[in-house]
Amino acid sequence: MEKILKIGTLAAAAGEKVHGFYQVEGTDLTMPVTLINGRGEGKVLLLTAGVHPDEYPGIAAAIQLSNELQPADICGGVVIVPMTNYSGFLAKKGSHVPADGKNLNRLFPGDPNGTEGDRLADAITKDFHSVCDYNIDLHSGGIDEEMKPLIFFSLMGGKEIEETSRQMALSCSVSYIVRSTATNGEYSSAVLHGLPSLLLERGGNGFWSQEETDADKRDVRAVLKHLGILACEVEPAKIPVEIAVTKYYESDATGCWYPCFRPGERVQKGELLGEIRDHRDQVLSRYYAEYDGVVLYQTSSLSILKNKALVAFGKLG
Ligand SMILES: [Zn+2]
């Protein structure tokens, strides 16, 4: 686009791609950023990954896209932050911001006077959401979570943003798209600042593969194409099921978790979703399906603590 694409100290003129680092004010935190300013006028999409730094397929996809996307193919711009929680990525000690132990995806829109994670969220809101028109945030299941690829999109930004977000989601090749009313995550906060957005989840358990990475890259390209930002060919998306109601089962005991189904498997009302047993294999708690539905994602570790997530169960029909 004609005008300069600028974030922090980084700037890309029309037809230019710039790689650099962004410094979060008042902290030692930095993160790699790529600005791609296209040749023609158009909108700007923000692609974030690594808000949870141990969710790897999206991080690999964002890194590879920052190399592969070229200004000549773009109308408008693309801003890529492949490792949003970069200090967490380097530390390799879980999914939080190392300096304050906080979950970055619960801190938005952030606080300029808070701890490192609060300031990082504030910086994303003020310097990135403010100059972009759309947002895709790439995630996976956590280190102890398994899931089927799915998309969350927000109902909280009004009808127009919801519908644009839904159409973005329908460009992606996932099994399920899930309505969300959360507000404190990166993408859900972007929605409240006027950006149609989605959160794409693929992979989990701390693994990554080039196959999952390629699937994420295909979906990002498809959304960019749908929005008129990128000229490219993509394979057609499969038609997803839209989930309006999701029940998030939590543990009411500490012990060992034995799920009965895998993500993507359909379950009938009344069937046992899983049970918690103690160290002598005695049943402590059982969890039953409240309706006909599908396991979207679930905890995959044997160890479970009280009041922790067990299963996200989407309603079908
Ligand atoms: Zn995540």
Per-residue pLDDT tens over the stretch 55-113: 999 999 999 999 999 999 999 999 999 999 999 999 998 899 999 999 999 999 999 99
> Measured between alpha carbons, how far apart are the two ends of the chain, in Å?
45
Predicted confidence band of residue 317 (pLDDT cuts 50, 70, 90): confident
From ligand 1's centre to the CA of 139, what distance in Å?
4
CB under 8 Å to 280, separation ≥6 — which residues? Answer: none
From ligand 1's centre to the CA of 298, what distance in Å?
13
Domain boundaries, the chain: 5-241, 245-315
From ligand 1's centre to the CA of 138, what distance in Å?
8
Rounded distance between C-alpha atoms, residue 52 and residue 63, angstroms: 15
pLDDT at site 262 = 97
* Lowest mean pLDDT, pick from 7-11, 23-27, 233-237: 233-237
Predicted confidence band of residue 37 (pLDDT cuts 50, 70, 90): very high
From ligand 1's centre to the CA of 279, what distance in Å?
30
Name the average pLDDT for the chain: 96
pLDDT tens-digit map of 213-227? 999 999 999 999 999
**Is the predicted pLDDT of residue 189 greater than 90, yes or no?**
yes
pLDDT at site 238 = 86
From ligand 1's centre to the CA of 237, what distance in Å?
23
Class assignment of domain 5-241? Answer: alpha beta
Average pLDDT of 31-52?
96
**Is the predicted pLDDT of residue 1 greater than 90, yes or no?**
no
From ligand 1's centre to the CA of 201, what distance in Å?
8
Q: Does residue 158 contact residue 191 with C-beta atoms inside 8 Å?
A: no
From ligand 1's centre to the CA of 58, what distance in Å?
10
pLDDT at site 109 = 97
From ligand 1's centre to the CA of 52, what distance in Å?
5
- Chain Cα centroid distance, residue 82: 12
From ligand 1's centre to the CA of 199, what distance in Å?
9
Four-way CATH pick for 245-315: 2.40.50.100, 3.30.230.10, 3.40.640.10, 3.40.1160.10: 2.40.50.100
pLDDT at site 295 = 98
From ligand 1's centre to the CA of 147, what distance in Å?
12
Listed as own residue / partner, the contacts of 266-271 with beta carbons closer than 8 Å and 24 or more positions apart are 266/292, 266/293, 266/294, 266/316, 267/292, 267/293, 267/294, 267/295, 267/313, 268/292
**Is the predicted pLDDT of residue 2 greater than 90, yes or no?**
no
Predicted confidence band of residue 27 (pLDDT cuts 50, 70, 90): very high
State what percent of residues in the chain have pLDDT above 90.
Answer: 95
Average pLDDT of 109-127?
98
pLDDT tens-digit map of 275-305? 999 999 999 999 999 999 999 999 999 999 9
From ligand 1's centre to the CA of 14, what distance in Å?
33
pLDDT at site 161 = 97
